[in-house]
Amino acid sequence: MNNEINKISDYELDQLHNTFDWLFQLGLFSVADDLMVHLTDVTNDTDMFLGMLTATFPAKSKLPNRNYLYLTAKGFLKEKHPEEWEELLKGLE
C-alpha cells in the first residue's frame, strides 16, 4: 500500500506509539498535542498518519488539535489513496 518516498519503518512506528503512550501515562497531554501538531505538519507518509491517528485515539478528548491531525490525514489520504481512503480512516475519527 505504501509507496511514499520516506516510508516509516515498523521500529519507528513502535517508537511513535511508545512515545505517545508514555506522554499519556505521565499526563503530559499538552506536550503530546504539541508533538502531534508538529508531526502532522511535517508528515508525508501514509503509515505515519495512520500511526499517529491510532496512537492518539485513546486520548483524543484531551488533545485539542487532534481534529487538525484527522483533517490533514484525510486530505492526504484522499489524494494518495482515492479508492481506499475511507476504509483506511474507518474507526480513527
Is 47 a member of any domain?
A: yes
Q: Nine-digit cell at 59?
A: 486520548
List the domain range (segments joined by +) for residue 48: 27-89
Percent of the chain as helix, strand, coil, to the nearest 5? 70, 0, 30
Is 16 a member of any domain?
A: no
pTM: 0.90
Number of structural domains the chain divides into = 1
Is 13 a member of any domain?
A: no
Looking at the predicted structure, is the pLDDT value of residue 1 above 90? no
CA atoms within 13 A on the CB side of 19: 15
Span 31-61, pLDDT tens digits? 999 999 999 999 999 999 999 999 999 999 9
Is 70 a member of any domain?
A: yes
Is 48 a member of any domain?
A: yes
